[in-house]
Amino acid sequence: MPFIPHTETEISEMLAAIGAPSIDALFDEIPAALRIKSLAAIPDALSEMEVGRLMQARASQDGRPLNFLGAGAYEHHIPAAVWAIVTRGEFYSAYTPYQAEASQGTLQLLYEYQSMMSSLTGMEVSNASLYDGASALAEACLMAVRAHRKSKSARIVVPSTLNPTYLSVSRAVVEGQNLSFTVLPYESGKGTLQFSTLEALKGEDLTAVVIQQPNFFGQMEDVDAITDWAHANNALVIAVVNPLSLALFKPPGEWGTKGVDIVVGDGQPFGVPLSSGGPYFGFMTTRMEHVRQMPGRIIGRTVDLDGKQGFTLTLQAREQHIRRSKATSNICTNQGLLVTAATIHMSLLGAAGLESVAATSQRQTSKLIEKLTRIPGVKLAFDGYRFHEAVLQLPVKVREVLDALAERNIVGGLDLSNLYPELGNALLVCATETRTDADLDTYAIALTDIVTGVVERNR
Amino acid sequence: MPFIPHTETEISEMLAAIGAPSIDALFDEIPAALRIKSLAAIPDALSEMEVGRLMQARASQDGRPLNFLGAGAYEHHIPAAVWAIVTRGEFYSAYTPYQAEASQGTLQLLYEYQSMMSSLTGMEVSNASLYDGASALAEACLMAVRAHRKSKSARIVVPSTLNPTYLSVSRAVVEGQNLSFTVLPYESGKGTLQFSTLEALKGEDLTAVVIQQPNFFGQMEDVDAITDWAHANNALVIAVVNPLSLALFKPPGEWGTKGVDIVVGDGQPFGVPLSSGGPYFGFMTTRMEHVRQMPGRIIGRTVDLDGKQGFTLTLQAREQHIRRSKATSNICTNQGLLVTAATIHMSLLGAAGLESVAATSQRQTSKLIEKLTRIPGVKLAFDGYRFHEAVLQLPVKVREVLDALAERNIVGGLDLSNLYPELGNALLVCATETRTDADLDTYAIALTDIVTGVVERNR
Amino acid sequence: MSHISEPLIFKHSRTGRSAVGQYPQGATAQVPEKFRRRKRAALPEVSELQAVRHFTRLSQLNFSIDTHFYPLGSCTMKYNPRACNAFAMLPEFLGRHPLAPDSVSQGFLACLYELQEMLKDVTGMKGVSLTPMAGAQGEFAGVAMIRAYHKARNDLERTEIIVPDAAHGTNPATATMCGCTVVEIPSLPNGDIDIDALKGALGPKTAGIMLTNPSTLGVFERRIQEVAKLVHDAGGLLYYDGANLNAILGKVRPGDMGFDVIHMNLHKTFSTPHGGGGPGSGAVGVGQRLLPFLPIPTVGKDGDNYRWLDEKDVPQTIGRLSAFMGNAGVLLRAYVYMRMLGREGMHRVAEFSALNANYLLARLKKAGFDAAYPERRASHEFIITMKRQAKELGVNAMDFAKRLLDYGYHAPTTYFPLLVPECLLIEPTETEAKEELDGFVDALIAIQAEAEQDAAKVKGAPYTLPVRRLDDVRAAKQLDLTYGMRSTE
Amino acid sequence: MSHISEPLIFKHSRTGRSAVGQYPQGATAQVPEKFRRRKRAALPEVSELQAVRHFTRLSQLNFSIDTHFYPLGSCTMKYNPRACNAFAMLPEFLGRHPLAPDSVSQGFLACLYELQEMLKDVTGMKGVSLTPMAGAQGEFAGVAMIRAYHKARNDLERTEIIVPDAAHGTNPATATMCGCTVVEIPSLPNGDIDIDALKGALGPKTAGIMLTNPSTLGVFERRIQEVAKLVHDAGGLLYYDGANLNAILGKVRPGDMGFDVIHMNLHKTFSTPHGGGGPGSGAVGVGQRLLPFLPIPTVGKDGDNYRWLDEKDVPQTIGRLSAFMGNAGVLLRAYVYMRMLGREGMHRVAEFSALNANYLLARLKKAGFDAAYPERRASHEFIITMKRQAKELGVNAMDFAKRLLDYGYHAPTTYFPLLVPECLLIEPTETEAKEELDGFVDALIAIQAEAEQDAAKVKGAPYTLPVRRLDDVRAAKQLDLTYGMRSTE
Ligand SMILES: Cc1ncc(COP(=O)(O)O)c(C=O)c1O
Ligand SMILES: Cc1ncc(COP(=O)(O)O)c(C=O)c1O
C-alpha cells in the first residue's frame, strides 16, 4: 500500500490489541448512512514513475519562456546551495517549533532571519513571516488600527500606485472590520503620488498612510515627504517595499525624520523561485513599541536550565492558540520553509551581493527601456527615477502584443490597460540580473516585429 | 574571491604569523624559472548564474531523446528519495571512512550494501565497490589468478557473447601481467556460447572461465553446464551479471552444482542514472575462502570500547596503503556515493520491487520485438530465452537508421555491425519498464518509415 | 539530531568576506542622494562554505518526520513523499511567472483544475478554491463566504459564529477577523457537543457554526446530522474545519454530513511538507449555496482550454486572498500525492490512521495511562491526560513531553485542547510502522517508571538535546528578538 | 552530527512490507525452471518513510566537509560547490545514454572538450584523456603509457619504476599492476629526494619514476629540474602523481618541471565531491612523447563538431579503462568548477591553500608541536609528529586524532606517509576560514594539555560520537562482513 507500512500480520495483531474485529469497525461511531460509497472522480493510483512522466509532460507543455514580467514576483538567480539545504528533511519535514528544545535549528534560523530583516528595513523587530506581501499589508492595516489607539477612524490612505492586487487583498481581508481605504491618484507623467491630494486630507482622522517604494510602476515616491506629512498629521506610516531594493535604497526606518511604523512586503526576491505564484512569504517589521500588536510568530533568544543560550517562540500571548478570539490575527501555519530559503539566500549574497543584484537589475531594465523605446510608437509613460520596472505605452493593443510574444516564447510584461485605463495601451515590464543583453535584444526584435506588423495590419 | 573566505586583514595577520612578506613568498622554494606566466586557455570566471545558463544551454542542445539503448547501461525509474538523500552533504562531501567513529553513517551503509549484494548474488562476501563493471571484470581476472594457486597458465576463457568493451578493458588492465584470454565463439542463430568449443579445451590449464548472464545479446546462457564444466576442469568461474536480472534469475552462487567463484557486474541499474556513462559502480562478491584475494574496500562489523556494535574498514592488509606494491589492487577511491544510491534504491524497491521492474522490462522488450519484427525485413537474430535486450537484423545499414532515428529524437539502439560483422546489419535494442506501450509504438512507426524509405531509395 | 549547538551566523561574519560567485560583478547604481541607503544592512558576510556548513548544522538540530516519529496531535505529521517535492520543483513550474498568459500555462492549470475536481469529490462539495494559503486563511475564506451569503440575502443581523470550546484557536480568531462575535459552547464529558447548549446558542443572529469532526478531542461527533439540521433550521450555515480530514478521508464526506463549507489543510491530509512551520495550503470547498462567493482565482475549463476565473466570472466573490493564486507549489505537491494514492489509497488514509491511533490508545490504556475519552473510539488521534501524574507525582504533561525527546520521540501536542487538563494529543498517522508505535509506548512506560522513582529526573528533561529546558518566561520578559538587541551576547 | 546509533536496515524489515509506489504493478515473468530464482534475495522490506528515515539518520552519523573542518592530508577536502552538483545533474545530462549518437551529444561533448583544453593548460601538457575513474586508475594509465612508449621503441628491458619511500601506496601498487618492478628510494631528512640514491637506481632498466611534487611530506622538491634531467638522460620518463596538484595550481606546471605524464585527482583539486569514498576522476595529461598512447575515448573537434576519438584515431592507445568514458558526472562537476574559478581563481587555489597550511604550521610550531620538516615551507599540507608525546606521555598520533573528533574536527591523515613516525598529515585547503584554523589549533593545544594531565582521557577518546573507539583487530579476526554472517546479533 503506498506509504503504508502495515503487513497483514501486523494488522491482525493490532486489531486484536484494540479488540476490534476489522478496520472498518473502527468507524462504527460514524452513522452508517454517511459512509462514502465511492470516489468516482479520483483516478486509479499511479506509480511514482507514472506520475513523474505525467508531471514532466505537463511542465514541458508550458515550457520555459523568456520572462520580462515582474509586478510583484521577480526572477532572480538563486544559489544552488539554497534549495539543496532547504529541502533537507530536517527543515522540510519539521513543523512549527512548539517543542523548542527539539527545534533549535528552525528557531535559530528564524531568529537570524528576524535580525536580518530588521536591519535591512531599518526597524527594530521582525516577525517570523506572514503568508505573502499582499496579505501582510492587510495584516499591517489591521495592526495599525490596533496600534494607533488615538485614531478612531480606521481609515487608511493608499496611493493608486500601490500594487492593485495588494489593495484588493487588503479589502477582502479587512472587509468584516469596518476599515476604509481612501485611494489617492498619481501625478500623470510622473507616476507618483499626487501630493496635493494627500495635503487635502489635512486635519482628518487618518489611521495610517501606505506608501509603496518603488511603487507599482517601478517609480520612486518621495517617501520622506509623505512619511513626515503622515506623522505630522497623526497617522502611522506603513511601508510596502521590495526587500531587494533596500540594498540600494534608504530603508523605511529612515524615511522622513523618524522613519515609518510598519514595514511589509513580499520576500520572494530572496531565494524563492517564481513558482507559478507561491509559496512566497510576507515579511513584517516594526518598532519595538508595537511588537505586541504584531501578528505572526516571533522568536526570542533565552537561556536553558544551565544558562546556555537557546531560542524559543515568544510573545505567544498575542496568538490565536492562546488568545483565541482576541488574538492579533488568526495566522498559525506561516511560510517557514520560504523564510529558510530567504535566510540562506541573504547569508550567501550578503549586503554587497544584494546591492550588486539590485544594481544590475536596474541597469538591465534601463537598457531594456532604451531598446524598446527606440521602436516607433513605443514610449515611456513616466519620467523620474525608477528601480527595475517601467511602464511603456504601445501604439497597439497590449493583449494582442502579449499573445504574439507568447507565441515566440516571450512573456512580455503585464497589461495595464484594464487596471489603469487612463494610461492607454500600457505595459509594465521588468528585467532583472537574469536577463542578458542578448535576451533584451531578443525581446526588442520580437516587439519591433509585432508592433510594426500590427500597425501595418491596422492601416 | 570565489570560495575563498580570506579578508585582507586576515591575510596580513596570517602572513605576519608565518613571518612571510607576501603570499608569493610562500612559493620561494619553487625555482623561479618554473613559475607560471599565464594560463591563456582558461577563460575568465563566470558567476554561478552564468555557468548555470551555459550548462543549461549545453544540456538543452542534447535534449532528451527517447532511448532504446542498453548495452551495459540501462534507463530505470529511480525513486525521488534516492538522490535527495544521496546528495545530503553528510554523504556527498565526506571521504573514505578512515576515522571510523566519525563515519558510521557511510560504514553502516556499506555493510548493509555488502549484505544485500551477497544475498542477491548468492555469494558469501562482497566488497564495497570497484570503479565499474568492466574494470571489475579485469580485477576479477587478476583475482582469479591470485586465488587459483594451482593454475599456472593465467589463462582466462571468455565467450564472444561477453560485452566486447568488458573484454577490451580487461585486456588493457591486465596487459602488463601476462594473462591471456581465449575467446570462444557463439552458436549462430542462438547467440549463446558454442559449448563444443569449450569442451575442446578439456585438459588444458585454464585459470578461469567467464560467463555473462544474460549475455551481451540479451540471451540466456546455459550457466549450469558451463559452471560445472569449468569446475570439473579445475577452472574458477567468474560470473558477469546485471544485478537487476538476479531478481528473476538464479543467482551465480547457485549456478551448477557448487556455484561460481567470483561475481562481478555493473551496479548502474540500481539507482544510478545513465548520466552519459558514469559514475556507475562495479560490484564484486565471492566466497569467504577468497576474501583475502578480493580487491577493494571491505567493511566489517565489530564492537567499540564499551562493547557496542560499530563498523569499520577491515582486511586493510590487502590494500595498497598498507601492502603497497604487493596489494591486491591499486584501487583507493572507489564509487562510494553510487553505492549509497544503490543501497537506498534496493531498500526502497526490495526484492519484490526489483522482480517487478525486471519482469516489466522483459515484457516491454518482448512487445518491442514483436512490434519491430512486424516491419518487413526486420527480424530477430537469435531464438531462445532472453531478458530485456535483443539483436535485430535490419534490411538496411544500421548507421543510417540510427542517424535518421536520432533526427526524430530517438536513440534506437547499438549498431553491432562493426563489433559482430558476421551478423550483418545488426542492432541491439532494449526497453525497460520506463518505456510505455506508446513509446514502443513511436519507435515502431519511426522505424517502419525509415526502413521503408531507405529500402525504396536503394531500389 | 545533533546535540552540539551552532553559533549565530553573525559570528562567522567578517567584514569583506563574501560568496562572490553568487552575484554579478561590476554594476553600481547611481542612486540620487535622497533615495540612497547610507549604511549597508547588517547581513552576515560569510563564504559559501560557511553558509552551507552553518545551515546544514542548524538543520541537524531539528526533529522532523524524516528523522523522528512526530506524533503531534492535530498536525498530521505523516511522510511527505519525496516525489511530491521533485515533481513540483520541475524547472518549468518553478520558472513560470504567476501572471504569464494562459497560453503558456495549460500544463500547470490542468493540474490545478484536476486537483479542484478531486478535492470536490473527497469532500462532497460542489466547488473548490485553492487560493487560501493555510488552514487559517481557509477558515477566513469560509466564514467570509458565510457572511457574504447572509449579506447577499440581506440577512444582516447574522453576525454570531458558534464555536465549541474544543475548537482550535484559529476558529474563534477567524470569526473575529471576519467581524463576527464568537459564541462558545461546551463539550459533553463524552466528547460530543452539548446539543442543548447548541440549541440555546442558535437564533436569528446565528451566522453559522464552526466544527471539526472528528473534533480536536479525537472523537467523532455522532449526532452530526442532528447538529446540521438544527443549525440549518436556525438559518445558519455549517463550517467544517478540515484540519482533521485525515481521520475520515475516504470514509465519510463533510458535504454528506451537511456542511456548507470546508477548508482543508493540504499540508496535513495531503502530505505536503510542514517546512518548519509552513507553507501550508487551506483550499476551501463549498456546497451549492456558497458557490457564488468562492475566493478568486479558481481554474475553469472551456472545452479543452483551462483558464483563470476572476471577478468577471464570480462577481459575488469574497475577493482575492493572495497576490497571485495561493501557494501553487504546495498545490502541485498535493496533486502529485493524490495521484499517487489514487482512489483506493484515499480510502486507506483514514483506515490506517485510525488503526494506528486506536492501537496506540489501546496499548497506552493497558499500560495504565488515562484516556480522556476512554469509552470512545479514537479517530486518527486521541488524548491522554496526565492529571493524575501531575497531582500524585508532580510530573505534568510538559515533563512527559520533554522527557520523550530524550527517548528520541517528538512530543505529542501538549495542553491542547484547553479543556482537557494536562493533556497530550497524540496523532501517529498512517505512515508509521507498528514498531514505532510500540517504541513510543515503551518510552512512555519507562518515563512513568522514572516519574515514580525520581520525579526530578523527568522534570529536568531534556538532557540529550542541544539545549536543556528553555526559559520561556525570560524570553517573553527580557525580549531579545534580533542579534544585537541585548548587549549580553 | 548525531551521537545516536541507528539499527541496521534489516531490523526495520517485515515480510510483506514495501514501498509499492516505486515499481510497476502486475507484470510477472515466465522464467524457465532452469533459470528461475528460487528464493528471493534477503533485501530489506521497508516502507518509503522507513528507508528515508533510516538513511537520513545514517547520514547524520558522518563528519563531512559540509558539517566539519576536515583537514585530511593528501585528500584536499575543500568545499564542493553545490552548483557543480546542480548543473551536472541537469536531466538532459543524467538521461543521456553513453552510447547515444554524437549528433545528440554535442552539448555534453563540448564540456568535455573544453575541460581537456583547460586541464592541458593548467598542467602544461599536450594531451589529456578524461577516462580514468580515480587517481589510481590515472596512475595506471600513466605507467601503462610509459610501458607502451618503451615497447613501441622496442626498448623492452625497461621494467623498473622508481618510487620514493614517501609515495602514496597507489604508486607502488600501480607499478606492480603494470607489470613493473618497484625500486624504492629514500627521502633526505629535509624532505627532498636523495639524489645520490636516485642516481644509483637509474639505469638501463629504468622505465620511469613516479613523483608527487610537492611530495606527501608536504614539501616541494626543489631540485626537480635536476631530477628530470637525470631520469630523462637515463632513458626514463617522469610520472607526476597529481593528487597534490592543489598545492601548485596556477603557480607552476608539471609539464614545465619536466614531467611526461600526470594524473589529476579531479575530486581533489577540482573539488568534485568525495562521496564517502568516491567517485573520483583521474584524468591524465601527457607530453608530446606519450600522446600516441592516451587511453580512449577522448573528445576531438572537427570544425564545429565534437566527436569521440577511438582506436581508429589513436591506434597505439593503451586502450579502454572503463565500459564507457569514465566518470562523466564527475567531469561535468570539474568543468563547472573550473569555469566558476576562471583564470584568476585558478591562481588563487595554490596561494590560499599554501597560506592556510603555512599559517597552521606556524601556529602549531609556536604552540610547541613538532613539525616533521621545520625548516621547510609547507606546501598545501604539512606534517607534525607526535613521537615526543608518544614517548613521553604515552599518547600517540592516533589518540590525538580520535580526541580531535570530540572537539568537532575531523582528524588529519594519520600514520601516512609511513616514514615519519607518529605523524599527522594536515591539509586545511583554501576554502577554510582563519577562525576554523584557529579553532583547530586551540583544540590541539587543549588535547596536549589533557595528555599531560590525564593521558588516559585522551587514549579513551572519542566519547561524544555514536561509538567509542572501535576494535579493528576484532573486525579483522572475527570477520563479520554481512548481516547474518555471525549469529551474535
Ligand atoms: C484543528 C485545526 N484547525 C485549524 C488549523 C489551522 O490551520 P493552519 O495552521 O494551516 O492555518 C489547525 C492547525 O494548524 C488545526 O489543527
Ligand atoms: C598522493 C596520492 N596519490 C594517489 C592517490 C590515489 O588517488 P585515488 O584515491 O583517486 O585513486 C591519492 C589519494 O587518494 C593520493 O593522496
pLDDT at C486 over 90: no
Report CB contact under 8 Å: A336, C54.
Answer: no
What is the distance, to the nearest Å, from the Cα of residue D107 to the centroid of all Cα atoms in its chain?
28
Rounded Cα distance between A226 and A211, Å, is 8
Residue pair C402/C411 in contact (Cβ under 8 Å)? The answer is yes
Predicted pLDDT of residue D487: 57
Residue pair C137/C278 in contact (Cβ under 8 Å)? The answer is no
Q: Other C-beta atoms within 10 Å of A29: how many?
A: 14
Phi-psi label, residue D207: left if phi above 0, alpha if psi -120 to 50, beta otherwise: alpha
CA nearest ligand 2 atom 7, residue: D135
**Which residues does A61 contact at the CB level (< 8 Å), separation at least 6?**
C106, C107, C110
Assess whether the previous peptide bond of C417 is cis (omega < 30° from 0).
yes
Rounded Cα distance between B403 and C277, Å, is 53
Mean pLDDT by 10 residues, chain A (459 residues): 95 98 97 92 97 98 97 98 98 97 98 98 98 98 97 97 98 95 97 98 98 98 98 98 98 98 98 97 98 97 97 93 90 96 98 98 98 97 97 97 97 97 98 98 98 84
What are D3-23's pLDDT values in tens digits?
Answer: 999 999 999 999 999 999 999
Number of H helices, E strands in chain A: 13, 15
Ligand 1 pocket (Cβ < 6 Å) reads A 332-333; C 74, 134-136, 168, 170, 212, 216, 241, 243-244, 265, 280, 282
pLDDT at C488 over 70: no
Rounded Cα distance between D345 and D366, Å, is 31
Among A53, A77, A88, the residue with its CB nearest the CB of B49 is A77
Q: Is A60 on the interface with D (CB under 8 A)?
A: no
Q: Is B10 on the interface with C (CB under 8 A)?
A: yes
Among B29, B314, B362, the residue with its CB nearest the CB of D222 is B29
| Burial (Cβ within 10 Å: 0-12, 13-18, ≥19) of residue C160 | buried
Average pLDDT for D276-305:
97
pLDDT at C427 over 70: yes
Question: At C459, which amino acid appears?
Answer: K
- pLDDT, chain D, mean: 97
What are B364-411's pLDDT values in tens digits?
Answer: 999 999 999 999 999 999 999 999 999 999 999 999 999 999 999 999
Rounded Cα distance between D401 and D444, Å, is 9
Rounded Cα distance between D78 and C419, Å, is 56
Give the Å distances, CA to CA, from C151 to C158, C159, C211: 9, 10, 22
pLDDT tier for residue B139 given thresholds of 50, 70 and 90? very high
Rounded Cα distance between B424 and B421, Å, is 6
Q: Which grid coordinates belong to A93?
A: 519535514
Report CB contact under 8 Å: D22, A48.
Answer: yes
Give the Å distances, CA to CA, from B5 to A85, C190, C228, D63, D65: 20, 64, 65, 21, 15
Report CB contact under 8 Å: A115, C484.
Answer: yes
pLDDT at D488 over 60: no
Q: Which grid coordinates belong to D321?
A: 579503462
CA distance A447 to chain D (A): 30
Q: Other C-beta atoms within 10 Å of B50: how many?
A: 17
* Lookup result for grid cell 540529550: C464
Closest CA to D77 of D432, D462, D478: D432
pLDDT at D269 over 90: yes
Give the Å distances, CA to CA, from B98 to B311, B313, D59: 11, 7, 16
pLDDT tier for residue B431 given thresholds of 50, 70 and 90? very high
Rounded Cα distance between C359 and A14, Å, is 6
Q: Helix, strand or coil for residue D354?
A: helix
Rounded Cα distance between B394 and B381, Å, is 10
For chain D, the distance separating the N- and C-terminal CA atoms, rounded to the nearest angstrom, is 26
Rounded Cα distance between B435 and B431, Å, is 6
Rounded Cα distance between D285 and D298, Å, is 11
Q: Is B77 on the interface with A (CB under 8 A)?
A: yes
**Which residues does A116 contact at the CB level (< 8 Å), separation at least 6?**
A343, A346, C41, C42, C43, C44
Rounded Cα distance between B134 and B72, Å, is 9
Rounded Cα distance between A46 and C489, Å, is 54
Q: Helix, strand or coil for residue D326?
A: coil
Among B71, B103, B300, the residue with its CB nearest the CB of D479 is B300
Question: At A426, which amino acid appears?
Answer: A
Closest CA to C243 of C185, C165, C170: C170
Report CB contact under 8 Å: D100, B18.
Answer: no
Q: At C225, give phi and psi (nearest 5°).
A: -65, -40
Q: Helix, strand or coil for residue C378?
A: coil
Rounded Cα distance between C51 and C43, Å, is 12
Please indicate whether residue B333, judged by its CB atom, sits closer than 6 Å to ligand 2. Answer: yes
DSSP state for residue C214 in the 8-state scheme: S
pLDDT tier for residue C484 given thresholds of 50, 70 and 90? confident
Mutation to probe ligand 1, out of C265, C281, C331, C416 (largest number of atoms < 8 A from CB): C265
Count interface pairs C-D at CB distance under 8 A. Answer: 75
Q: Other C-beta atoms within 10 Å of D205: how many?
A: 17
Among A10, A80, A90, the residue with its CB nearest the CB of D86 is A80
Q: Which grid coordinates belong to D428?
A: 586545511
Phi-psi label, residue A430: left if phi above 0, alpha if psi -120 to 50, beta otherwise: beta
Report CB contact under 8 Å: C376, A29.
Answer: yes
Average pLDDT for C296-320:
97
Q: Is A77 on the interface with B (CB under 8 A)?
A: yes
Long-range pairs for B10-14: beta carbons < 8 A, 24 or more residues apart: B10/C14, B10/D433, B10/D434, B11/D355, B13/D434, B14/D355, B14/D356, B14/D358, B14/D359, B14/D434
Residue pair C85/C274 in contact (Cβ under 8 Å)? The answer is no
| Burial (Cβ within 10 Å: 0-12, 13-18, ≥19) of residue C202 | buried
pLDDT tier for residue C487 given thresholds of 50, 70 and 90? low
Report CB contact under 8 Å: D133, B135.
Answer: yes
> What ipTM did this prediction achieve?
0.98
Domains for chain B: give ranges and CATH numbers.
66-75+350-458 (3.90.1150.10), 80-344 (3.40.640.10)
CA of D243 to the centre of ligand 2 (A): 5
Rounded Cα distance between A388 and C319, Å, is 29
What are B240-272's pLDDT values in tens digits?
Answer: 999 999 999 999 999 999 999 999 999 999 999
Q: Other C-beta atoms within 10 Å of B146: how many?
A: 14
What are C75-121's pLDDT values in tens digits?
Answer: 999 999 999 999 999 999 999 999 999 999 999 999 999 999 999 99
What are D168-212's pLDDT values in tens digits?
Answer: 999 999 999 999 999 999 999 999 999 999 999 999 999 999 999
Average pLDDT for D347-360:
98
Q: Other C-beta atoms within 10 Å of D439: how many?
A: 15
Give the Å distances, CA to CA, from A323 to A96, A97, A316, C131, C477: 18, 19, 8, 27, 18
Domains for chain D: give ranges and CATH numbers.
9-59 (no CATH), 83-341 (3.40.640.10), 349-473 (3.90.1150.10)
Residue pair A214/A242 in contact (Cβ under 8 Å)? The answer is yes
Q: Which ligand is nearest to the CA of C211?
A: 1
* Lookup result for grid cell 559452471: B227
Q: Other C-beta atoms within 10 Å of A366: how many?
A: 15
What is the distance, to the nearest Å, from the Cα of residue D403 to the centroid of all Cα atoms in its chain?
25
Angle at A31 between CA A27 and CA A34, to 5 degrees: 95
Assess whether the previous peptide bond of B214 is cis (omega < 30° from 0).
yes
pLDDT at C489 over 70: no
CA nearest ligand 2 atom 10, residue: D135
Q: Is A433 on the interface with B (CB under 8 A)?
A: yes
Rounded Cα distance between A355 and A360, Å, is 8
Average pLDDT for C190-215:
97
CA distance C273 to chain B (A): 14
Residue pair D347/D250 in contact (Cβ under 8 Å)? The answer is yes
pLDDT tier for residue B459 given thresholds of 50, 70 and 90? confident
How large is the C-alpha radius of gyration of chain B? Answer: 26
